[in-house]
Amino acid sequence: MSSTSQPAFHVNSSLLSSGFVLLCIGFFLWVIGAVLSGTALAQAAKNWIAQLEESPSEIARRRAHQLKAAASAGSKAWREQSH
């Protein structure tokens, strides 16, 4: 009977550690890029909001009033039609 042994699994540890270091560096560069991009987008949004004639809260308040008026008119028309 001949015994068949499994071949040994050898990992090049210096190549593995170099890859891990590059992976970590890439991750930190990605995080820095994401933070810089997010900051740029936030500043652009802030500048865009500052250029609006009405603030977003005023626009929302006006739209809510319009919604209430339209709902009231629709409800009134529906009640008058059903009688």
Q: Confidence band (pLDDT; 50, 70, 90) for 17?
A: very high
Distances (CA, A) of 72 to 34, 62, 79, 81, 82: 46, 15, 11, 14, 15
Identify the residue whose tokens are 């308040």. Answer: 61
pLDDT at 56: 87
For the chain, helix (H) and strand (E) counts, in that order, are: 2, 0
pLDDT at 80: 87
Q: Confidence band (pLDDT; 50, 70, 90) for 35?
A: very high
Q: What pTM value is reported for the model?
A: 0.56
- pLDDT digits 0-9 by tens, 46-77: 999 999 898 889 999 999 999 999 999 999 99
Distance of CA 1 to the CA centre of its chain: 63
